[in-house]
Structure 1
């Protein structure tokens, strides 16, 4: 009898922040890993850290390249690795007014945040379904649950797409034991706001910041339990409940008063 291949977790955007925290949490749970991101040296450093616990494969890829998803899956197949868990985490923001960036910047953003996610999921879904206990974890944002803020015009819509995408995947694949989850964290300590250049200007109360390790643990726990939506942190769960009961016009007015405190233009 042949020995079944181990099921790997493929984590995109694994070089820092929530992605790296998710990789560490899966390693703690003895799940072998495939790490991908643009920065090879960051991936190798994380892989060296985690290899004492699990097998870690590194496959650098820039998901801004439309050819990257197919190339990444081809490399995984070349190495005869079986993906049981897909974590679509890679992402960033384009700050400023919508007409303040050229279309190429917006097109690249959409490629990374939506198109690459859809293509990777489509290409890997047969293997995930074949596992019998496959998992898909899409790292969205609390922004998906709120009216959109000015200053990052495509960010909330892209994250809202991930939420709806996760819901549909959960329904379509439940018959094969696949759990699909949208992880919707609020403000999380990572490099995200440093990359967009907004951290120094943000006025967010310290109690509203989450730790990446806590977000990772909540997301994986929720996914394992079959939850389609995971909102880490009781403060954010309370805020979500409150906003859901506000009239849409009132929620929009609330965002208009507060969005520039967190994303100044």
Structure 2
């Protein structure tokens, strides 16, 4: 028996296997009138002929090229349809999708890199932007400690979108805030005063560039500034006792907003 003869009596399951599609797909194409069997068995089962298979093969090819069923129907059945023009249009659309996917691939690469190492800057750039006290190893250490947290994920997502110029704006804002705090302490700004409240809000605004910081989280940060030797030394170089003074400002602000600093948590 020739191959064509064998094809002339293919059941729907055999036809689906031959074409590499599902039986459900062939049923759907039959139901919408795109391609159906030319005959039925004595018991009513679909039987596909060689001509049926040829039409189905063309449909499969056009579907793989991304054409919709209505467009395929027009190409197969409309004598006035311009096949070349339709394929050129589909190719143009495919090229546009390739460009979008290429751009997405680049974005994903940046996101992966940012999740792994934080700011997408080399060590020299980091030191130039964040100052001589900055240790380029800190982001990697932070990832090992906080990599599973929502805040690290938010930080990485923002880092993936930032270039050196944008990091410079953030670093400059941080430096300005440090000097504002030192000047306020020297001038005797008291915890709970309007000036102190403004500084606390300014701190939340500046550091929320890394990830969103709630008032409760801010209390935890202020406590760390005071307790961590590296942070305490940084603020002491600006003004002795600055970390402890700032912690008092944050505590007073938290109380004014109904938060008990003694029970504040990182949330």
Tell me the TM-score normalised to structure 1 length.
0.23
Q: Which has the higher helix share?
A: 2
Tell me the TM-score normalised to structure 2 length.
0.23
Higher CA-based Rg? 2
Q: Which has the higher strand share?
A: 1
